[in-house]
Structures are given as C-alpha cells and as structure tokens.
Amino acid sequence: MIIMALDHTRDFFHHAAMSFPPEDLTRTSAAIFCTRWVTHICAPVFFFTTGMGAYFWLGRGHTESRTGHLVTRGLWLVVLELTALRFAMTFSLVQGPVLLTILWALGWSMVALAFLSRLPMRMLAVGSVLVIVLHNLLDPITAQSLGRAGPLWNVLHQPGVIPLGGVVFIVAYPLVPWVAVMVAGFCFGPVMGWEPAVRRAWMVRVGLGMIVLFVVVRSMNVYGDPRPWTSEIAGKAWLSILNCTKYPPSLDFLLMTLGPALLLLAALDRWDLSSSRWRRTNPLLVFGRVPLFYFLLHFLLIHVLTIPFAYFRYGRVGFLLQTLPTLGGSRDVYPSNYGYGLGVVYGVWIIVVVIMYPVCLWFSRLKRRRRDWWISYV
C-alpha cells in the first residue's frame, strides 16, 4: 500500500508523466523508469492476497455463503470503480473517459472466484498456473480482428477503448490473467497453515524458482511477453529486459513480480508483529487492515494536494478540474510546463503516507470497535 502511493503520486505530479509513459525507453531515464518499476509488485500482490483472503474467510466456516459474499463484494468494487474512484481521480462523475482499472478487475475476479472456488483445489491450482503460463499465446488475437466481439476481447485480454451509449470506456485491466492470479492466491492459502519453517522454505524455493524462470524465459526473448527486449537503445538494454508488459500482465511480468513477492513474504513471516507492543500502531499493519479505505482516500488526497502546489507555482488551479493527461484528458488544457521533478514526487509521496497513517489508524480502530454491516464493505 505504501509503495503503491508512489506510483499514483507520480501520475499526478511528475512533469514527464504528462508527456510520455515511464516505460518509453526512447524518452525515459533510469530514475523515472525505476520509480515506476518498483511499484509493479503492487497489483499482482493485491490480486494474489485477495485470493488468499477469500480462502481464509472460507476457513472460518462461511462455505455455505461463499458465492453471495464474494459476488456482492466483487460487484461493490466495480461500483466503487465507477463512482468513488472516478471522482477521486477526476473530481467529476461525468467528464472524460471512464477508466476500468484495478477495482474493476479485482471485483470481477472475485465474482469469478465465487464460482471457481467450488472446484477441487488441485484442479484450480493447475488451471491457474496454466492460464498464467499460456495466456500469451493469445496475444496475436486482436479486438479489431473479432468484429462485433472485439469489445468482449478488450474486457478479457487486450486493453482498449469501448464507446458505449455516448460514453467512452477505457479498459486498462483486462481480466485474463488477473482472475488466474487471484485463483492462484486462493490455492496458496493452505500453505500459510503449514509449520512456519516449512512454509518459509517452500516460499523461498518457489520464489527463487520464479525468478530463475523469469531470467531464462526473458533472456530467450521468444515467448512470455509481447514486448521483446532490445539492446538497440544505448545504455538501456537492462531497462528493456525489465520492461515487461503489465496490461494485461505477461508471463514475464508475473514471474518478475510474484517471485520477489514470495521471497518478501517469507522474510516478513519471520516477524511476529502480532505479539509486538506496536501491533496496534505498526504502519504496515494499520494500512493492511483497511486497504480499500486507504486505496480510495489516498487517491483523493493526492489529487487534492495538486491544488496548493498548482496555486503557488501557476497562480491558478481551474485547469485541475479537467481530467489529467495521464488519465486520458487533454494535454492542451494544462500549462505547457505543468508538473514537477522527481524530488517533489518523492516528497509528496512521503506527505501522503504520513497524512494517511492517523486517518487509517482511526478507521482501523473503528472497525475493531464496531460491527456495522457497511464497515465490512470499506
């Protein structure tokens, strides 16, 4: 959650973000690329741990209501994507294109998991791995080649624009293979019930194995990512190797992120935070207890912080009511030099995390004291 805020701060504040994506190796720098690259671990871990959370919830005796629970919460995330998140990103519910991003994909993946979780665990594990490994075979299929079925393909595998009833939808997070990542997390749930030493050793072996497999597959440069790496850009070959496709996440992207994530989980598993005297106030636990609350509020906070910065630098803030270029808005509406350097981005990121901490601490304590039905949806 903390790392994620860095990428979203960059989206709203960095001057280069208004002109080109950080993965554009012809224009980016190592600092810009790495600022974006370190945050790649976030989305795969969100999907993976959501699957784990579903397994833990079922383990508390909710097997009979699994479908309704996951479906309603999944659809709620889709609603939040179209309302609360859209407002936080654009200050509007009507202007600009409608982005379908991570809450959209998380929500529909939860709906899919509601039904898939009834299948045998071994079948789910094998199936999720096969989808993750083989889905790049579908890359040659394009929405344009499918005619009227093209929008469905945008939803499933190819990012794209879908005009519908005068509204433009931009599918940034196609569902395949995100559903498979969540299912894999669900199948990983039982591992956390093993003896600590055994599960840590298993996570280290699998994590290292995924990293080795990434190196092998990526170095072959034949399969695993629709964007082959190149050494033609002077001094940026190593960036090109790490420049794996996120939308949708390629095999290489998932190996590159979930492998290190398992190693990180194995390391963190050695910390008994639950028995620490700081267990109620540790930022890692505080943010982790209220992830959806944090996610929506930190977006709004970052956007609000653009106002004082713009006022002091440009003397006006009206243009901030228009959709940011990084979110599909027009570049012409903003000042030609709009944006700030990476130093400001990192400074604002720290400010955001510091402000979010007491707010999330308050809400986590509220959740612990009360059992109102609506709290479980936030």
- The pLDDT tens digits for 233-252 are 989 999 999 999 999 999 99
pLDDT of residue 64: 63
Instruction: Determine the Cα–Cα distance for residues 22 and 33; give it in Å rounded to an integer.
Output: 5
Contact 329, 323 (CB under 8 A): yes
Phi-psi region of 374 (alpha: psi -120 to 50; beta: other; left: phi over 0): alpha
Strands in the chain per DSSP E? 98-100, 160-164, 167-171
Where helices occur in 243-290 by DSSP H, the ranges are 251-268, 283-289
Residue 49: band (very low, low, confident or very high) from pLDDT cuts 50, 70, 90: very high
How far is it, in rounded angstroms, from Cα 78 to Cα 105? 8
Do the beta carbons of residue 180 and residue 108 sit within 8 Å?
Answer: no
Q: What average pLDDT does the structure give for the chain?
A: 94
Residue 227: per-residue pLDDT: 94
Structural domain boundaries enclosing 132 = 2-377
123: left (phi over 0), alpha (psi -120 to 50) or beta: alpha
The count of domains in the chain is 1
Residue 64 three-state SS = helix
Confidence of residue 69 (pLDDT cuts 50, 70, 90): confident
208 burial type by CB count under 10 A (0-12 exposed, 13-18 middle, 19+ buried) = middle
Reported as a pLDDT band with limits 50, 70 and 90, residue 120 is very high
Cβ atoms 11, 326 nearer than 8 A: yes
What CA–CA distance (Å, rounded) separates 317 from 240? 37
First to last CA, the chain: 15
What is the sign, positive or negative, of the torsion defined by CA atoms of 9, 14, 16, 18?
A: positive
